[in-house]
């Protein structure tokens, strides 16, 4: 059950939120440079986040949870990449129109309906990831689709928003953020909940990435694109796996989340069987047991006590053995408790929450365990847990443990879960609802005229599926086609084919492979743009360099910053006249014929000799012609 | 709830809508707060609620807040159909929770002028709904109940820039009444733009107060989770209840970080940045003190930076003098300033002119005849410095001496805005030239100071290595 899951049977459903940084020179709402990352700072600001009252005059679940954590939030500032806007001491400047244009381009690539008038909204975040406490975001397109595995994958909406801070450290009641990335323009592409297996999630992530890359106006590299994956199973509820860095990792994450939800549903069944049917039916009592634990030979407990903290035992009635129930491989319900306590009560010293069942694992702890039992007096069906740290946090932890069991009676709580290496997730926060969004009153809306839209449409690059189809019809491998689209090489291939009339397969393969090879060997490949590649292929189609010399010429152009002429001259490549190379090839063939054994087939012999001749001629003769020449020669000799 | 109010009985049905959009709405009997499905010419369906539209925007788009939380504008010309699915009027109300009363705690009255210190957010429009009654404030900032027993009075609901003589008088009288009732301190909720102007005039209208009078507001809107509003309010109420300084003070962020508030003397401070949280600075002196939310090591929330202040003393009887002459103005001098402005003011019957002069208090010669004529006609002309820091010194140069000869009154290091408030207050009481001169040059509450300590002028210059090194070690 733990490694296999019949996705159809459990009703696994998934949808994506793909975040992609845009390639603009400035940030979205201020004039700071975008994409300038720094690892040092020259100023710090301290803030706290206070939830604003909701529609009903009450704090909503997420807000309250995040307020409970009472975090000291510190922002690290560097003059080079942040101004007083990012630190929320200056109102926003007008929205960056370049970012709106790129977003419109992305929308059009995905067959979307572009919004007539774009309005900025504020989305509240109390974790401190944005110093204002809200992210400015705006829907630019709705109601789109992309072709996916023979069907249409719905693109619900695309929005443009400001990127958040980068987390530096989160320990206890303090969280530290770096602000360099804050405010960079980012698009969020939301798909419909139409992905039914982990593999599909992986493929959809790749496809969305390909569409974004095909515009040539998005950022690449670590952190430039991140995805959140929403997962649910039948009877479960939507959980958002946040920050999936690579498509490949999604497979295990989605699978494991499916498993987790199925197991949480089983736990619900078991709780119901025991009569715990509603959240209110879960009863908790908490006791200060610092005195009992004063002699415990446990480092983490002693450290907490010495720092003036407490040890608490939290008894939950009727939940015996539930905490040991597996939720994922090597993960139990106890980890669900730990996640909540770590985030909400800010207790983060391992093991965070100790279960009574795990106590005997520590040598010689039976004595303490017995004294704890005596103190809390658990019934046969009860279980108890141990937490340690500052007293107020221990109380919060006790309440969170109760609250997590209460949620378990309802099944799967809506959560945002953080993706960890190894395909696991851990609790990050309660999933916020639409209630946390409200109109931004600082900025006027941006009207998108149909004229502006059509201008962008006329510049639109072919969508990736169209290119893949075209390239594969040229017999370029699909993998190479995708690589070209991702890396911007497809632009070059299309231009080369159009301008020089060269065969698409040749252009696709040479450019695709050459690009990769040059990049791997650290050559400044960005020097080879459309114009440069056209020069190279022009030399080839003019018959001035052989096909085989194209990579060497391109590589020399990039390395030595030369034009194609210069590079081919530097390499000493210029096709020799037929009479010249034929004489040499003749000699080689003659030698080759003599030294080869008779078992070789003619074909093999031709290939061997041609290869040798081309090498010795150092690319100064076209391989196809050399082969033809050698074939004829061999025929003559045989006769 | 759906359709529970007939269309024609709904107030503000087309709030902000004109032209083509209004026509569509009228045709379909749909308006603001209607929950709708709007279908456009591309078949996209937008489900959400219709929001009011700003009058300053065009008349071509319908604003819908989608049920997913985002808001968008739909072009009228692209709307194919529109259908009402419900109607839900915004309720601008904050649920009240009874503010607890604790006989052990001090009694503080909060007088509201219209600035929003605490608020609830209307999630549909982004509008900020002020929390004002004690119950509302308790709902929004429950920590207040740990500090004092709070009573509130809403005097008026005006933006900071609309505060004026009428409001100053009402405010001063109300403060007098609260003091007479025996409260332990007064908090005045105020917008930040003209907060220091109010601080200055209250310093003259309410003298000899037995208890602290604390003016407070929020610089970054109170709907944002990172607002300075709640902390300012908490610290202001704490100051009113417990601080030993019985003067008119402004209580606003010291650094931009959530750290401590500075207590500025009402006559000596100024808003120095249009949006920074730490915008208020005491000019030409050090602030009176700091107040911090969680107590210092000695258990106190306050650090006094001077001992030169009026102490809390409930037996002291305040003097309330709510007068104000409105025919007073400030002239900000610049090179090439033309005398006709002064001529005009004189002819229009102005009784007082505060000049913010260059350098030590200078204006150019072509103005002299106009100034001379104004003074002869009974206009009081006073001189301050537009450098804000430093004193007028009109004996140094001939120009200064000439101006003195004309009868201009130099006001030392009085801030121009404070000088304006004081002159209006003085002229509200007398037109006797000698008396005016005496009153203007005799300090009432540190509006001029005999000496400027060297740390009264500190504008650290960023970019200098030693300054940057210092700043780096602090929460800004
Ligand atoms: Zn900036």
Task: Mark whether B346 and B313 lie in a shared domain.
Answer: no
The residues, any chain, with a CB within 8 Å of residue B321's CB and separated by 6 or more, are B172, B204, B205, B207, B425, B429
Burial class of residue A314, CB neighbours in 10 A (0-12, 13-18, 19+): buried
Q: Is A57–B471 a contact, with Cβ atoms under 8 angstroms apart?
A: no
Neighbours of ion ligand 1 (CB under 5 A): A 30, 32, 83, 85-86
DSSP state of B245: B
Helix (H, G, I), strand (E, B) or coil at A124: strand
Q: Is A116–B93 a contact, with Cβ atoms under 8 angstroms apart?
A: no
pLDDT at residue A357, rounded to an integer: 82
Task: Mark whether A79 and A221 lie in a shared domain.
Answer: yes
Where in B45-117 does DSSP place strands (E)? 45-50, 61-66, 71-75, 79-87, 106-112
Q: Given A273, A305, A335, which residue is the final one in a domain?
A: A273
Task: Mark whether A615 and A488 lie in a shared domain.
Answer: no
Chain A: residue nearest B54 by CA?
A444
The answer to whether position A35 is within a domain reads yes
Contact B123, A437 (CB under 8 A): yes
pLDDT in tens, A472-488: 999 999 999 999 998 88
Number of alpha helices (DSSP H) and beta strands (DSSP E) in chain B: 11, 23
For residue A235, name the pLDDT band (cuts at 50, 70, 90).
very high
Mean pLDDT estimate for chain B: 92
Residues 362-401 of B with CB under 8 A from A: none
- Say yes or no: A451 contacts chain B, CB-CB below 8 A: no
The answer to whether position A240 is within a domain reads yes
Task: Mark whether B315 and B334 lie in a shared domain.
Answer: no
The answer to whether position A491 is within a domain reads yes
pLDDT in tens, B269-286: 999 999 999 999 999 999
Task: Mark whether A165 and A56 lie in a shared domain.
Answer: yes
More confident residue, A107 or A595: A107
The answer to whether position A455 is within a domain reads no
| pTM assigned to the model | 0.88
Task: Mark whether B270 and B197 lie in a shared domain.
Answer: yes
Number of domains in chain B: 3
The answer to whether position B381 is within a domain reads yes
Residue A596: name the closest of A546, A555, A630 by CA: A630
pLDDT at A519 over 90: no
Task: Mark whether A195 and A324 lie in a shared domain.
Answer: no
Q: How far is the CA of A178 from the centre of ligand 1 (A)?
A: 14
Contact B128, B222 (CB under 8 A): yes
The answer to whether position A418 is within a domain reads no
CATH of the domain at B387: 3.40.50.40
pLDDT in tens, B403-461: 888 999 999 999 999 999 999 999 999 999 999 999 999 999 999 999 999 999 999 99
Residue A192: name the closest of A151, A235, A150, A249 by CA: A151
- Say yes or no: B465 contacts chain A, CB-CB below 8 A: no
Q: Given B255, B288, B320, which residue is the final one in a domain?
A: B320
- Say yes or no: B259 contacts chain A, CB-CB below 8 A: yes
CATH of the domain at A351: 3.30.1360.30
For residue A585, name the pLDDT band (cuts at 50, 70, 90).
confident
Contact A21, A186 (CB under 8 A): yes
Contacts of A49 in chain B (CB under 8 A): 225-226
pLDDT at residue A57, rounded to an integer: 46
pLDDT at residue B398, rounded to an integer: 81
Q: What stretch of H or E contains B423? A: helix B416-427
- C-alpha separations of B256 from A29, A30, B296 in Å: 20, 19, 20
Altogether, the residues listed in chain B come to a count of: 476
CATH of the domain at B166: 3.40.50.1170
pLDDT at B163 over 80: yes
Place of tokens 């406490």: A133
pLDDT at residue A331, rounded to an integer: 92
Residues 212-231 of B with CB under 8 A from A: 220, 223-227, 230-231
pLDDT in tens, B197-239: 999 999 999 999 999 999 999 999 888 889 999 999 999 999 9
The answer to whether position B2 is within a domain reads no
The answer to whether position A392 is within a domain reads yes
Q: How far is the CA of A97 from the centre of ligand 1 (A)?
A: 16
Closest Cβ opposite residue B71 in set A42, A50, A439: A439
Q: How far is the CA of B120 from the centre of ligand 1 (A)?
A: 28
Q: Is A50–B227 a contact, with Cβ atoms under 8 angstroms apart?
A: yes
Task: Mark whether A298 and A199 lie in a shared domain.
Answer: no
pLDDT at B92 over 70: no
- Say yes or no: A359 contacts chain B, CB-CB below 8 A: no
Number of domains in chain A: 4
Q: Active-site residues of B: which are they? A: 116, 192-193, 271
Q: How far is the CA of B461 from the centre of ligand 1 (A)?
A: 20
The answer to whether position B460 is within a domain reads no
Q: Given B87, B117, B146, which residue is the final one in a domain?
A: B87
Percent of chain A exceeding pLDDT 90 equals 64
The answer to whether position B38 is within a domain reads yes
- Can you tell me the distance from the alpha carbon of A306 to that of B311, in angstroms, rounded to the nearest whole number? 43
Contact A368, A296 (CB under 8 A): yes
Which range of residues forms the domain containing residue A192? 7-273
B270–chain A nearest CA distance, Å:
17
- The structure tokens listed for A193 are 């909940």
- The structure tokens listed for B146 are 């740990």
Task: Mark whether A511 and A596 lie in a shared domain.
Answer: no
Strand B185-189 relative to strand B213-216: parallel, antiparallel, unpaired? Answer: parallel
Task: Mark whether B311 and B378 lie in a shared domain.
Answer: no
B48–chain A nearest CA distance, Å:
12
pLDDT at residue A593, rounded to an integer: 57
Q: Given A541, A567, A593, which residue is the final one in a domain?
A: A567
Q: Given A219, A252, A273, which residue is the final one in a domain?
A: A273
CB atoms < 10 A from the CB of B312, how many? 18
Task: Mark whether B254 and B333 lie in a shared domain.
Answer: no
What integer is the mean pLDDT of B37-65? 95
Q: Given B56, B87, B118, which residue is the final one in a domain?
A: B87
Task: Mark whether B77 and B124 lie in a shared domain.
Answer: no
pLDDT at residue A68, rounded to an integer: 61
pLDDT at A111 over 80: yes
Burial class of residue A433, CB neighbours in 10 A (0-12, 13-18, 19+): middle
Contact B437, B422 (CB under 8 A): no
pLDDT at residue A595, rounded to an integer: 52
Q: How far is the CA of A83 from the centre of ligand 1 (A)?
A: 4
Task: Mark whether A476 and A616 lie in a shared domain.
Answer: no
Tell me phi and psi for residue A430, to 5 degrees. -70, 140
Task: Mark whether B407 and B281 lie in a shared domain.
Answer: no
- Say yes or no: A57 contacts chain B, CB-CB below 8 A: yes
Task: Mark whether B292 and B361 lie in a shared domain.
Answer: no
Cα of A168 vs its chain's centroid, Å: 19
Contact A293, A305 (CB under 8 A): yes
Q: Is A132–B140 a contact, with Cβ atoms under 8 angstroms apart?
A: no
Tell me phi and psi for residue B337, to 5 degrees. -55, 130
More confident residue, B117 or A595: B117
Task: Mark whether B304 and B345 lie in a shared domain.
Answer: no
Q: How far is the CA of A175 from the centre of ligand 1 (A)?
A: 22
Residues forming beta bridges with residue B279, ordered by sequence position = none
Contact A589, A575 (CB under 8 A): no
Residues forming beta bridges with residue A122, ordered by sequence position = A136, A438
Which range of residues forms the domain containing residue B428? 328-441
Task: Mark whether B362 and B393 lie in a shared domain.
Answer: yes
Tell me phi and psi for residue B164, to 5 degrees. -160, -170
CATH of the domain at B46: 2.30.30.520
What integer is the mean pLDDT of A263-267? 97
Task: Mark whether B384 and B279 lie in a shared domain.
Answer: no
CB atoms < 10 A from the CB of A270, how many? 15
Task: Mark whether A370 and A493 lie in a shared domain.
Answer: no
Percent of chain B exceeding pLDDT 90 equals 76
Task: Mark whether B275 and B148 lie in a shared domain.
Answer: yes
């Amino acid at each position: 059950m733990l490694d296999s899951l019949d996705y159809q049977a459990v009703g696994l459903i998934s949808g994506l939120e793909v975040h992609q940084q845009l390639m603009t020179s400035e940030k979205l709402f201020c004039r700071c440079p975008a994409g300038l990352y720094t690892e040092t700072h020259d100023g710090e600001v301290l803030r706290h986040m206070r939830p604003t009252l909701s529609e009903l005059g009450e704090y909503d679940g997420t807000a309250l949870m995040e307020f409970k954590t009472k975090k000291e939030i510190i922002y690290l500032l560097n003059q080079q990449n942040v101004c007083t806007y990012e630190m929320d001491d200056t109102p926003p400047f007008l929205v960056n129109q370049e970012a709106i244009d790129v977003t419109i381009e992305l929308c059009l690539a995905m067959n979307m309906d572009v919004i007539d008038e774009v309005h900025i909204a504020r989305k509240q975040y109390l974790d401190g990831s944005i110093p204002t406490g809200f992210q400015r975001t705006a829907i630019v397109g709705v109601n789109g689709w992309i072709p996916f595995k023979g069907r249409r994958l719905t693109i619900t909406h695309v929005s443009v928003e400001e990127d958040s801070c980068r987390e530096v450290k989160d320990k206890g009641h303090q969280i530290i953020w770096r602000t360099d990335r804050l405010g960079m323009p980012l698009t969020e592409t939301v798909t419909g909940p139409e992905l039914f297996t982990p593999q599909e999630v992986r493929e959809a992530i790749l496809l969305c990435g390909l569409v974004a890359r095909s515009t040539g106006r998005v950022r690449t590299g670590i952190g430039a694109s991140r995805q959140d994956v929403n997962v649910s199973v039948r009877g479960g509820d939507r959980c958002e796996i946040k920050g999936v860095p690579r498509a490949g990792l999604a497979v295990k994450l989605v699978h494991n989340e499916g498993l987790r939800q199925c197991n949480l549903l089983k736990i619900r069944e078991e709780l119901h069987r025991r009569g715990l049917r509603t959240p209110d039916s879960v009863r908790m009592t908490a006791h200060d047991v610092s005195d009992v634990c004063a002699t415990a030979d446990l480092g983490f407990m002693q450290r907490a006590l010495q720092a003036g903290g407490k040890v608490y035992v939290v008894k939950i009635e009727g939940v015996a053995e539930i905490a040991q129930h597996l939720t994922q491989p090597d993960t139990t319900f106890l980890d669900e408790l730990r996640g909540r306590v770590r985030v909400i009560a800010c207790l983060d010293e391992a093991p965070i929450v100790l279960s009574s069942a795990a106590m005997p694992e520590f040598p010689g702890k039976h004595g303490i365990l017995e004294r704890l039992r005596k103190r809390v007096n658990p019934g046969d069906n009860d279980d108890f847990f141990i937490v340690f740290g500052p007293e107020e946090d221990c109380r919060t932890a006790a309440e969170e443990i109760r609250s997590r069991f209460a949620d378990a009676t309802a099944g799967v709580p809506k959560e945002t879960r953080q993706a960890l290496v190894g395909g696991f997730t851990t609790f990050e926060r309660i999933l916020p609802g639409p209630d946390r969004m409200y109109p931004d009153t600082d900025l006027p809306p941006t009207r998108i005229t149909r004229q502006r839209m059509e201008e962008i449409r006329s510049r639109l690059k072919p969508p990736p599926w169209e290119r893949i189809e075209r390239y594969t019809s040229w017999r370029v491998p699909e993998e190479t086609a995708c690589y070209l689209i991702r890396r911007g090489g497809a632009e070059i291939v299309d231009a080369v084919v159009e301008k020089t009339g060269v065969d698409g397969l040749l252009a696709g393969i040479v450019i695709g492979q050459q690009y990769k090879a040059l990049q791997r060997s650290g050559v400044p490949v960005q020097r080879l743009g459309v114009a440069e590649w056209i020069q190279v292929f022009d030399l080839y189609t003019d018959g001035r360099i052989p096909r085989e010399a194209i990579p060497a010429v391109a590589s020399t152009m990039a390395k030595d910053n030369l034009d194609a002429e210069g590079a081919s001259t530097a390499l000493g490549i210029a096709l020799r006249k037929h009479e010249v190379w034929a004489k040499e090839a003749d000699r080689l063939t003659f030698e080759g014929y003599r030294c080869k054994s008779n078992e070789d087939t003619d074909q093999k012999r031709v290939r061997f000799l041609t290869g040798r001749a081309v090498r010795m001629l150092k690319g100064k003769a076209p391989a196809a012609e050399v082969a033809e020449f050698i074939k004829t020669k061999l025929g003559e000799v045989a006769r | 709830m759906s359709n529970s109010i007939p269309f024609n009985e709904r107030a503000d049905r087309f709030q902000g809508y004109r032209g083509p959009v209004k026509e569509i709405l009228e045709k379909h009997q749909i308006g603001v707060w209607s929950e709708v499905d709007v279908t456009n010419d591309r078949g996209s369906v937008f489900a959400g609620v219709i929001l009011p539209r700003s009058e300053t925007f065009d008349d071509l788009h319908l604003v819908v807040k989608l049920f997913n939380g985002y808001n968008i504008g739909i072009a009228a010309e692209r709307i194919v159909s529109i259908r009402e699915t419900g109607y839900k009027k915004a309720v601008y109300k904050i649920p009240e929770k009874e503010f607890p009363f604790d006989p052990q705690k001090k009694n503080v009255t909060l007088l509201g002028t219209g600035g929003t210190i605490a608020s609830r957010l209307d999630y549909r429009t982004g509008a900020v709904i002020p929390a004002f009654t004690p119950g509302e404030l308790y709902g929004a900032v429950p920590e207040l109940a740990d500090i004092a027993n709070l009573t509130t009075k809403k005097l008026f609901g005006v933006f900071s820039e609309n505060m004026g003589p009428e409001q100053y008088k009402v405010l001063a009288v109300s403060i007098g009444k609260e003091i007479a009732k025996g409260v332990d301190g007064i908090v005045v909720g105020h917008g930040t733009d003209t907060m220091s102007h109010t601080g200055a005039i209250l310093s003259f209208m309410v003298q000899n107060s037995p208890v602290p009078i604390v003016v407070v507001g929020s610089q970054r809107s109170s709907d944002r989770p990172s607002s300075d509003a709640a902390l300012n309010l908490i610290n202001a109420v704490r100051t009113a209840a417990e601080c030993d300084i019985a003067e008119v003070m402004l209580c606003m962020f010291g650094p931009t970080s959530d750290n401590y508030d500075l207590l500025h003397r009402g006559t000596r401070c100024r808003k120095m940045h249009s949006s920074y949280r730490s915008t208020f600075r005491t000019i030409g002196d050090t602030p009176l003190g700091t107040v911090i939310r969680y107590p210092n090591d000695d258990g106190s929330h306050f650090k006094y930076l001077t001992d030169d202040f009026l102490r809390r003393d409930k037996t002291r009887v305040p003097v309330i003098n709510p007068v104000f002459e409105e025919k007073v103005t400030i002239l900000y001098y610049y090179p090439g300033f033309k005398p006709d402005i002064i001529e005009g003011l004189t002819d229009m019957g102005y009784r007082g002119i505060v000049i913010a002069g260059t350098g030590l208090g200078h204006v150019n010669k072509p103005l002299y005849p106009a100034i001379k004529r104004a003074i002869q006609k009974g206009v009081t002309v006073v001189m301050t410095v537009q450098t804000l820091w430093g004193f007028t010194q009109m004996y140094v140069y001939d120009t200064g001496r000439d101006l003195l000869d004309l009868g201009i009154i130099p006001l030392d290091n009085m801030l121009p805005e404070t000088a304006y408030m004081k002159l209006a207050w003085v002229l509200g009481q007398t037109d006797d030239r000698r008396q005016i001169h005496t009153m203007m040059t005799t300090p009432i509450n540190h509006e001029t100071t005999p000496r400027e300590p060297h740390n009264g002028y500190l504008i650290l210059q960023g970019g200098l290595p030693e300054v940057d090194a210092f700043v780096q070690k602090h929460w800004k």
